[in-house]
Amino acid sequence: MFESYNKAQQAVLRTTLNMIIKKELQATSMALIAKESGVSTGNIYHYFKSKEEIVNELYNAIVSYNGSFVLQGLSRPGTVRDRFFGGWEKVVELSRLHPEGFQFIEQYSFSPYIREDVKLKAYNGGWCAPMNALYQDAMTQRIMKPSDAKLTVQMHYGALVYMIKGHLSGYYELTDEGIHGAILNCWRSVSNE
């Protein structure tokens, strides 16, 4: 997830992510990050300007990782429908492979702690833009019913996110068929098939 960073940076980012998810930002002190990551405070500040920058960099790194991950599904060869399923399946897969990253993005994408420029870069560098493009194309080609593409993507994402959140909160179990059914539902609600 943090391959482009050096060892110390990776340790810091990984540790910070885990601590924020487990204990919340407030309880995630620099002293603890240093201790858990094995990187001294001084050296942390050699690589990151401030605590805020660690968190923003974390956000950036995860969004970027998620972006390429989902893009694999979105660029799958085949029909629009195939790419649609490819994309959303990867989104759900992400939440199972990297639940901390998933939760982190959920918690901080609306937080004032993440700088606006980082959010903007995330929007463009993540999978959001390609997914929007897929919907827009499908609507132009009349494969999907005409509608606001961004709004529709947003709603489909919301439905899947809350499906996962409910699962992570222990409200119910999730099966592969359940997941497939959920994505299928999304497809049916917009496709002209």
Partner DNA sequence: TATGAATGAGGTTTCATTCAT
Partner DNA sequence: GATGAATGAAACCTCATTCAT
Binding site for its own copies (CB under 8 A): 22-26, 103, 106-107, 110-113, 148, 150-151, 154-163, 165-166, 169, 171-172, 178, 182, 185, 188-189
Tokens (6 digits) for 69? 């991950």
Helices (H) and strands (E) in the chain, counts: 10, 0
d(CA 147, CA 152): 7
Minimum CB separation from its own copies for residue 6, in Å? 20
Distances in whole angstroms, Cα of residue 135 to Cα of each of 5, 20, 73, 130, 188: 34, 34, 14, 9, 13
- Distance between CA 135 and CA 146 in Å, rounded? 10
Q: How far apart are CA 72 and CA 52, in angstroms?
A: 31
Shortest spacing between CB 1 and DNA, in angstroms:
20
Q: Is 40 in the site for DNA (CB under 7 A)?
A: yes
x/- map, 16-35, DNA, by CB under 7 A: ----------xxxxxx----
How near is the Cβ of 116 to its own copies at its closest, in Å? Answer: 11
- Taking the complex as a whole, the smallest distance from the CB of residue 31 to its own copies amounts, in Å, to 10
The residue type found at 69 is F
* Interface residues toward DNA, by CB under 7 A: 7-8, 26-31, 39-43, 45-47, 50-52
